Structure 1
Amino acid sequence: MKVLARIVVLGFFIFGLCLGTPAYGASPAATSRSAIDSEDLAGGNFAGQNLQGVEFSQVNLTNADLSGSDLRGAVFNSTLLEATNLHGADFSNGIAYLSKFTEADLTDAIFVEAILLRSTFENAKIDGADFSFAVLDGPQQKKLCAVATGVNPVTGIATADSLGC
């Protein structure tokens, strides 16, 4: 059943790409730019910001603070998120492709229906994170299952259950 749900989510994503319209567009109030390419934003403070639908491509967000940010529908493409604080961020329906979440704080973050293919999560803190219906590479899912603890305070879903452990 979980495999079928992931296939359906992936199908909607591909369908959305074919239409050329993202599920969530960045509102003008969210950010002055809807796409950020090849920039060094290491150590930046984006805590609590509305970053819906913003596309980050080859951006360095090492040690950045994105805690509590609204990242629904955002895209991280080949983005470096090492030691980044995403505590309590909402990345629902987001896409992270070829991105590195090494030692990132994903505590209480929401990754519901996110597509996280070819992304890595080495030593990431995932206590209370919700990955319900997220699409991950099998080896990454197994690594996350090995350290999955807690319950997301917003969704009420246990991290291990959301990963299908």
Structure 2
Amino acid sequence: MHLLTQNPISQQAFKGVALASFLMRIVIILVLACLWVLLAATPANAQSKTINYTSTQLEKRDFSNTDLEGGVFVAAEMREANFQGANLKSAILTNGNLLSANLAGADLTWALADRVTFYKANLTNTIFVEATLTRSILDEADVTGADFTDALLDRYTVTKLCKTASGVNPVTGVATRESLGCP
């Protein structure tokens, strides 16, 4: 310290370095604070937009032409519900019951619909692109014009669907039989 007090140039340089260091710390603190606020706010916004109907009674409810993207319908009772034209992209329908439901023209791209009952459901022109439908029941469902491109289905289910599959999806332009890989 004795050298700094005797040399005014060294003292000014020391003050300049100290000021620069102080300003740099302030900038870093502000940047970190902004990042913390942004990261803390993002999950809250995502969660507030998520629709969650887990284990809910939704029988005969009308969700036609509704944006339900990313919605959660795990173990939901949706008998005879109307999802006609609904956006169900990336929705989770695991263990759901859609017995006799209307999903005509609905978009279930990337949906997780494993172990779902689609028995006697109207799946006309429904889009199941890259959806997971393993262990789901599609018996007596109308799949005319449905697009199953790159969907994950059990072989047994595909074989059964190929017996009645027909039509072309009006949105994607893909034939139902082609999307199922029917012979």
In the TM superposition, what whole-angstrom CA distance separates every residue of 1:61-82 from its partner, at most 9, and x where no partner exists?
0000000000000011110000
2:69 paired residue among 46, 49, 52: 52
Aligned to 1:10: none
Q: 1:157 aligns with which of 174, 178, 183?
A: 174
Instruction: Tell me which residue corresponds to 1:135.
Output: 152
Matched-pair contact (CA < 8 Å) for 1:26–1:53: no
Q: CA deviation at 1:27?
A: 7.1
Q: Which has the higher contact order (CA 8 A, sep 6+)?
A: 1
CA drift at 1:39: 1.2
**TM-score, normalised on structure 1?**
0.80
1:59-138 residue pairs with structure 2 within 5 A?
A: 59-138=76-155
Q: Secondary structure at the match of 1:143?
A: helix
Alpha-carbon RMSD: 1.3
Give the distance between the partners of 1:157 and 1:123, measured in 2 at CA. Answer: 21
Specify every segment of 5 or more residues in structure 2 that has no aligned partner in the other structure, as ranges: 1-45
Residue 26 of structure 1: CA displacement?
A: 7.3
Task: Please say if residues 77 and 99 of structure 1, whose CA atoms lie closer than 8 Å, have aligned partners that are also in contact.
Answer: yes
3-state SS of paired residue (1:55): coil
CA contact (8 A) 1:100 1:119 kept: yes
SS in 2 for 1:140: helix
Q: Flag the structure with larger Rg.
A: 2
Q: Partner residue of 2:40?
A: none
CA distance in 2, matches of 1:75, 1:43: 19
Give the structure with the larger strand fraction. Answer: 1
Distance verdict in 2 for CA 1:26–1:131, change over 3 Å: farther
How far apart, in 2, do the equivalents of 1:91 and 1:26 lie?
20
More helix by share: 2
Aligned length: 137
Aligned-pair identity in percent equals 40
Amino acid at match of 1:152: N
CA contact (8 A) 1:36 1:55 kept: yes
